[in-house]
Structure 1
Amino acid sequence: MLIGLSNQTRSQHNLTVKQLNGRTVEQRCIQHQSELFQFLNEFCIWFSSRFSSVIWSLDPRISLSSLMNALSSFTFKSGQKI
């Protein structure tokens, strides 16, 4: 594919490929993190709906809103927030 190209052109091409691969990996990480937090969010809602009376009897300060606030406080390295 790069036969006959100068070393500088090959280096630029390799750098471009590495940058694109890095962006792809970062986008996949962000996507997986989003999916994980969505799952955790849904799990907290499910768990709360099933066990809210048990949780409330253990500690009335615990509520779904406090769980949701805890989840929403997480941020990604890239600065995007769930």
Structure 2
Amino acid sequence: MSDNEDVPRVDPDDPPEIDPDDLEVGGLDELLPAPLLPVYRQFERVQDFRETHGPTYTSYLEAILAVALIGGYVYWLYLFLVAG
């Protein structure tokens, strides 16, 4: 017979099994030494802000960057055409 008879079959519609050890997993702060925790806290604050305001923050940042790039291009064009 076949060697695959002992292998349990997994139904893709079944929910994945949850390992109880995974429920109490902490963050990176458990591994970092105490002097680096303030830096990590700032990183966490930025990540929380990005999770909360991600799309709005990104669109405003893109708009500011676009204005800055357009301004730089217009300035370069002015220097090239008028001052050159």
Q: TM-score, normalised by structure 2?
A: 0.37
When Rg is computed on C-alpha atoms for both structures, the one with the higher figure is: 2
If asked which structure has higher relative contact order (CA below 8 Å, sep 6+), I would say: 1
Q: TM-score, normalised by structure 1?
A: 0.38
